Amino acid sequence: MKTKRNYGFNDYFELFLYALAVICSIYFLIRGDMQRTLQPILIILVLTFIKVLINKSRIPISTGLRFSVLAFIFVTMFFANEFKGYSFIPYLDKIEHLSSGVILFYIGSLILELINKNETNKLNVKTIILFSLFFAIAMAGVWEIYEFTTDRLFGLRSQNNSLVDTMGDIICGSIGAIFTSIYAYKNFKVNFKVSSEVIGDSDNL
């Protein structure tokens, strides 16, 4: 007998993003704005790809990580691009980098769990927190290396040829990771896996 699934906040949030994407696509299609018509379709593809990837790989995604990814998609793909948030929200780019630090911290925790599998609960709490924190900070730097490389190779202006912009992005990502590490450390409970302890219970899709 198939058990009835209990829907949580993330499930409804994801459904909201799907519905919003459909509404936006239809609305901008009627208005003749093809770029903003196709953007929601891309969002639907991204959401679907993530869902299929997680289901097929059976990666234990936590509630916190799933929410962070969905929120990041909403801010970057909907608010910033579809609704032109960059034009009226100062430092929106920095807000995105702050939230990316949160996601990268969660991903670091997940990677550590996958590497250690059933041995994660034997790791020291500080080891888990510090690994996730340093992973997030390192990835913030790697992203800026990627932007620098594409700017140089393809003549883009992702970094605006500015060291201040680059360092600001890294600092924002690091701050997001630091605050997440503090939250995670305070909510850490003994004798549970890192996916439950650090970033919430596993969120089945």
What DSSP assignment string belongs to 96-116?
HHHHHHHHHHHHHHHHHHHHH
Would you list the domain boundaries of the chain?
9-86, 91-200
Q: What angle do CA 115, 9, 44 make, to 5 degrees?
A: 75
Structure tokens at 18: 């799907």
**DSSP track, 52-84:** HHHHHHT---BHHHHHHHHHHHIIIIIIIIIT-
Nearest of 106, 158, 160 to residue 132 by alpha carbon: 106
Q: For residue range 55-70, what is the model confidence (pLDDT) as tens digits? A: 887 777 878 888 989 9
Give the mean pLDDT of the chain: 84
Confidence of residue 196 (pLDDT cuts 50, 70, 90): very low
Q: What residues contact residue 31 under an 8 Å CB cut-off, 6+ apart?
A: none
Would the pLDDT of 153 be above 60? yes
Nearest of 5, 15, 3, 2 to residue 204 by alpha carbon: 5
Would the pLDDT of 190 be above 60? no
